[in-house]
């Protein structure tokens, strides 16, 4: 008895000697563990007296890799502004769009098994050597300013941003208590490319022609330079974002002095 999705399978196995059954995650096509065999159909048993104890629930042998392959859809990386380009030294807001809690339910051996995955942290590689670890997905900017996860680029060129999300997991049988799954799994999202462009303010009007902003094709020659002051920052959901707002104010002040 097998229920599958992706490359992992939630499989019924039984002990070759005792016949005891369990449910385990296994990669599709992997060999059956020694001493075990796929579950075989059992002949119908006579009805049990009402006073007799109910059949014991099956055990579930779950591992992080298995539940990750079976359950989780990684988030989509989002940014604002969302053009093909962003101006150099202008803060860009990032966030991970997706469900922080994901569940997968299926029936095995007549019991409903529910697997739950929860996003615990997000690792952001901003492409210029700067990295972030957050315990929250972030959100879109507001009228008051950028979102909680933001960054700006010092140089012109193409940059790639990637997100890796770490999940913990648990399972329950027939709506019972949730049992933790050992370990965590980290999954990458589809990376995103954009162009950081140096822009200058210019007058427009009847006597001035507004020229469209052109983004060159991405090549090895026009990839963006690494930030010489690159750093790693840890942001937690519990932190007060005043520190980030002060950091943004300092960025703006430096930019004003350069102009």
DSSP state, residue 22: E
Whether residue 206 has pLDDT greater than 90:
no
CA pair distance 130, 149, nearest whole angstrom: 13
Most confident of 68-77, 118-127, 180-189, 231-240: 118-127
Strand duo 85-87 + 192-197: pairing = parallel
Mean pLDDT check: name the lowest of 40-49, 94-103, 224-233.
Answer: 40-49
The mean per-residue pLDDT over the stretch 238-250 comes to: 56
Strand partners, 87: 197
Whether residue 240 has pLDDT greater than 50:
no
CA pair distance 108, 57, nearest whole angstrom: 11
DSSP state, residue 66: H
pLDDT value of residue 209 = 63
Render pLDDT for 99-137 as a digit per residue (tens, 0 to 9): 999 988 888 777 888 888 999 999 999 999 999 999 999
Task: Give 172's pLDDT tier (boundaries 50, 70, 90).
Answer: confident
Domain ranges of the chain: 2-42+57-204+214-258
Name which CATH class applies to 2-42+57-204+214-258: mainly beta
The mean per-residue pLDDT over the stretch 88-105 comes to: 90
CB-based contacts of 29: which residues, under 8 Å, 6+ apart? Answer: none
Token pair in block for residue 95: 């966030």
How many residues does this entry show for the chain? 259
Question: What proportion of the chain, given as a percentage, has pLDDT over 70?
Answer: 67
Per-residue 3-state assignment (H helix, E strand, C coil) for 67-122? HHHHHCCCCEEEEECCCCEEECCCCEEEEEECCCEEEEEEEECCEEEEEEEEEEEE
The mean per-residue pLDDT over the stretch 221-250 comes to: 75
Phi, psi of 174, rounded to the nearest 5 degrees: 55, 40
Mean pLDDT check: name the lowest of 177-181, 193-197, 204-208.
Answer: 204-208
DSSP state, residue 206: T
Tell which wins on pLDDT, 17 or 201. 17
Most confident of 3-12, 14-23, 46-55, 79-88: 79-88
Render pLDDT for 18-33 as a digit per residue (tens, 0 to 9): 777 666 666 666 777 7
Task: Give 35's pLDDT tier (boundaries 50, 70, 90).
Answer: confident
Average pLDDT, the chain: 77
CA pair distance 24, 120, nearest whole angstrom: 24
């Amino acid at each position: 008895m097998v229920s599958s999705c992706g490359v992992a399978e939630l499989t019924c196995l039984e002990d070759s000697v005792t016949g005891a059954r369990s449910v385990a995650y296994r990669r599709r096509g992997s060999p059956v563990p020694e001493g075990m065999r796929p579950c075989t159909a059992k002949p119908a048993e006579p009805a049990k007296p009402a006073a007799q104890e109910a059949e014991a629930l099956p055990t579930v042998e779950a591992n992080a890799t298995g539940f990750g392959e079976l359950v989780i859809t990684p988030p989509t990386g989002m940014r604002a502004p969302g053009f093909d380009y962003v101006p150099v030294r202008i803060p860009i807001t990032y966030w991970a769009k997706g469900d922080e809690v994901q569940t997968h339910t299926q029936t095995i051996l007549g019991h409903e098994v529910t697997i739950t995955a929860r996003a615990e942290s997000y690792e952001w590689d901003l492409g210029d050597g700067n990295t972030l670890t957050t315990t929250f997905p972030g959100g879109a900017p507001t009228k008051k300013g950028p979102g909680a996860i933001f960054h700006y680029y010092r140089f012109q060129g193409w940059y790639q941003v990637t997100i890796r999300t770490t999940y913990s997991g648990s399972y329950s049988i027939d709506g019972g208590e949730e049992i933790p799954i050992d370990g965590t799994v980290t999954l990458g999202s589809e990376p995103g490319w954009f162009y950081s462009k140096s822009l200058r303010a210019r007058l427009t009007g009847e006597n001035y022609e507004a020229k469209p902003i052109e983004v060159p094709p991405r090549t090895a020659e026009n990839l963006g330079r690494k930030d010489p002051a690159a750093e790693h920052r840890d942001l937690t959901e519990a932190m007060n974002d005043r520190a980030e707002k002060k950091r943004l104010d300092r960025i703006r002040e430096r930019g004003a002095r350069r102009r």
